[in-house]
Amino acid sequence: MIQLHVCPSTLAEGFDTYSPSARKLLFDGNKVNHYMDMPSPNTDDIQIKETLSNVGRISLSGAQPKFSVLVGEDRKLRYTKEGEQGTYILKPRPNAYQILNKDDCAANEHLTMQIAEQVYKIETAPNGICFFSNDEMAYFTRRFDVAPNGGKYQQEDFAALMGYTKINGGSDFKYLNGSYEECAEIINRYVKAARVDLLRFFRLIVFNFVSLNDDAHLKNFSLINRHDEYRLSPAYDLMNTSLHLVNSRIFALDKGLFREGMTIKDTHSFGKKEFMEFGRRIGLPESLVQRELERFSQDNPLIDSLIDKSFLSDALKKQYRDSMAYRRKMLTF
């Protein structure tokens, strides 16, 4: 069993399991073990393979499997059974050959989500790290579309709201169609508090750039109806993809920021000017956009602290830190 010295959710020091603040966000204040009574699905164990054959797999986005889990009577996370409503999404280590540094995927997503929430005050889905019985690490996140009574809130991702499917948009429909400017138009069309959510959306796009998340496709943005009106959902699936992909990009969407598409020869040709124009196009005041870009471009000791305390390997901590520092610098010119 791995001995912890930080909260496996908030990364607060001095905890050997989930801290009280993490338990409040993740488990409604209840104590839950950070270890699960089951080995990783990557094991060759016959029993776990039989168990997984009866488990509902939520989806397979790219190469990363996702499983539905809930807190059992023993206060440990477990897979849902047929007919049960899961309240968490579990992401084990991927196995796809094209993914680099597979063992660090969970730590990467967890760290990126924590930086978004703690440093940049971006609302994110509550999340944490947990461990299989064989010590393998996994990432999990609380479902924000599940109501306290077990019902589900209505949620629509931007691919659906734009009317794109595999049938009319091809197998890569979530990447090939639409731009972030057109995503902003979806917010204007369906959200009453559009001005508030447009700023939230702008911050998220800038954060994806700064954190090198080039997998922010149309299905990774959603509107959710929780209080009789649609709002931009909390952020989810945030990750520094440059740590795992051989050929990373700047944006997930082929058209990039703008409706007409973008021509980006290399990362050196992109920066503040494009984001200023993007902010103008989606209706944000120039002075506000300027302040936001300055905020995202500044060094922040909390970023370094979270990286240091994260579950990433030491080599990837350096790569994560250096890559993010360079992207922040790009916002200054």
pLDDT in tens, 21-35: 999 999 999 999 999
Query: Is residue 189 domain-shared with residue 291, that is, in the same domain?
Result: yes
Query: Where is the domain boundary, 108, 142, 176?
Result: 142
Judge whether residue 131 has pLDDT over 90.
yes
Q: What is the DSSP letter of 146?
A: B
Pick from 58-67, 182-191, 243-252, 311-320: least confident: 58-67
Query: Is residue 135 domain-shared with residue 201, that is, in the same domain?
Result: no
pLDDT band at 97 (very low <50, low <70, confident <90, very high): confident
Pick from 44-58, 152-166, 199-213, 226-240: least confident: 44-58
Domain extent at residue 316: 154-330
What mean pLDDT is reported for the chain? Answer: 93
Burial status of residue 71 (CB atoms within 10 A of its CB: 0-12, 13-18, 19 or more): middle
| Alpha-carbon gap, residue 38 to 133, rounded angstroms | 5
Judge whether residue 266 has pLDDT over 80.
no
Ranges of beta strands (E only) in the chain are: 57-61, 64-71, 77-79, 88-91, 127-131, 137-142, 154-157, 222-225, 230-232
Query: Where is the domain boundary, 142, 170, 201?
Result: 142
- Determine, yes or no, domain membership for 253: yes
- Determine, yes or no, domain membership for 13: no
pLDDT in the model for residue 296: 99
Q: What is the mean pLDDT of residues 2-23?
A: 99
Judge whether residue 273 has pLDDT over 50.
yes
Query: Is residue 130 domain-shared with residue 172, that is, in the same domain?
Result: no
Query: Is residue 83 domain-shared with residue 210, that is, in the same domain?
Result: no
pTM (2 decimals)?
Answer: 0.94
Query: Is residue 104 domain-shared with residue 228, that is, in the same domain?
Result: no
| Alpha-carbon gap, residue 70 to 92, rounded angstroms | 15
CATH of the domain at 260: 1.10.1070.20
pLDDT band at 247 (very low <50, low <70, confident <90, very high): confident
pLDDT in the model for residue 267: 57
| Total domains, the chain | 2
pLDDT in tens, 33-75: 999 999 999 875 544 444 444 443 333 355 678 999 999 999 9
Of 132, 147, 161, 168, give the one whose Cα is nearest residue 41. 132
Q: What is the mean pLDDT of residues 102-131?
A: 98
Query: Where is the domain boundary, 107, 142, 177?
Result: 142
**For residue 27, what are the contacts with CB-CB under 8 A and spacing of at least 6?**
18, 71
Provide the CB-side half-sphere exposure for 224 (13 A, CA). Answer: 18
Residue type at 64?
Q
Judge whether residue 248 has pLDDT over 90.
no
At which residue do the structure tokens 């499997």 appear? 65
Query: Is residue 138 domain-shared with residue 177, that is, in the same domain?
Result: no
